[in-house]
Amino acid sequence: MREIVLDTETTGFEPGEGDRIVEIGAVELYNHMPTGKVYHQYINPERSMPQGAFEVHGLGDEFLRDKPVFKKVGQAFLDFVGDAKLVIHNAAFDMKFLNAELGWGGFRLLPDDQALDTLAIARKKFPGSPASLDALCRRFGIDNSAREKHGALLDSEILAEVYLELIGGRQPDLVLSASSGSGASGQAVEAWRPMPRPEPLPPRITEEERAAHQAFVDKLGDAALWKAQA
């Protein structure tokens, strides 16, 4: 199963008010394991950067001036994503911007059900607890010390680790809930015990080896340990 953990940085909060994407970062997972393949692209938003957004991600007008506009990179982004599930923290925000940019560029849009929202997963799993990316890093002991400012690729790499913890680790299908004491049906799960063999295994020592051992024990006299246990 192929999944893409994705994050964006923008000039603000509303594409309908002229805000644009300035960075996309994405990490590929296959069967819940990172493959090493990533997508990372800075984008010229064709507008000035508001001070508030600059303080969040540090991407300013001068840095972005020579970067490609979204229309030049939109197809490469779609080719990387394909039909993989998109794992996004607060998916509605990023999907809103991605589909706005894709629509303006004349590209196909991403269906909403292609996205999996880790914010919703975290809130369901830990109701009432903080569910920001930083809060989840603290909960799971994930190192996010390099996250001085938001960055799409760094945040997607961190989110990939958070996502794997949210679903039960790197092998979620093998995780058994020790705390619940019940299976999917709600019935108690008994501790696994090995079944007795229908027939005992045949002995692996030969008659010669058995006779040699008996001769050795006889030489030790009546105080031999094996005779005391007989």
Q: Is 17 annotated as a binding residue?
A: no
Q: Is 222 annotated as a binding residue?
A: no
Q: Is 7 annotated as a binding residue?
A: yes
Q: Exactly one of 40, 89, 150, 213 is catalytic; which is it?
A: 150
d(CA 77, CA 169): 28
Is residue 89 part of the annotated active site? The answer reads no
Q: Is 9 annotated as a binding residue?
A: yes
- Burial label, 188 (beta-carbon count in 10 A; 0-12, 13-18, 19+): exposed
Which residues sit in the known binding site?
Answer: 7, 9, 57, 155
Which residues sit in the known binding site for a divalent metal cation?
Answer: 7, 9, 155
Residues catalogued as catalytic: 150
Which residues sit in the known binding site for substrate?
Answer: 7, 9, 57, 155
